[in-house]
Homo-oligomer: A and B are copies of this chain.
């Protein structure tokens, strides 16, 4: 159930029995020369819609562009919303839904740079809204996927596999490389971005991936999210 494809009437009916909404948030960000710029968004959207299908919960409009203000900002095709603007955007988005009666906000996140702005937005809403819960899941950080994901990194084996599973035609396999970058424990200004990322946009990883791994990652993600959704609604 995608909210954008439902009518006002259908949303009104839904809210009589359930106050949960699933919201996909991704990014438009370079993902090497092999993966599409929409990797994070496509993954978040596919996961969120599957979760919506399985759980019979409404899925809100996808947030296609996120915060990529550091590291990948200068790479061709990256579009970034600054953290402060993203916080305000999220506050407006959530506040509108709260007004109609939604109370459980389940974000399916596809991009690391969104986590801090999401947390900030929740904090700023904590005293403004009432009776609401906010949960963010980032598939690559979930305990249940730790082994499968194996610390794969940006544009790495994990994302390659996910996109292979979601839409194989979008992976330009000829451009897969074996590059790697030792990541420091600190952030850097963008003129020092090469400390975090290779010239072709890879962080921390070689590129071997597969449809099979993608399928496993995808299904494990949905399963784990389903548990969290129940946790959100029932605890």
A55 in contact (CB, < 8 A): no
Total copies of this chain within the assembly: 6
Our pick among B115, B121, B189 for the contact of A126 (Cβ within 8 Å) is B189
**Is the CB–CB distance between A64 and B67 below 8 Å?**
no
Residues of B with C-beta under 8 A to A190: 126-127
Complex CA–CA separation, A85 to B82 (angstroms): 11
Closest Cβ of chain B to A172, distance in Å, is 6
Known: A37-B7, A123-B67. A61 touches B79 (CB 8 A): yes
Residue numbers of A with Cβ under 8 A of B are 2-9, 11-12, 15, 28, 30-38, 41-42, 60-65, 67, 69-71, 73-85, 87-89, 92-93, 96-97, 99-100, 113, 115-117, 119-127, 129-135, 170, 172, 175, 184-192, 195, 201, 228, 231-232, 235
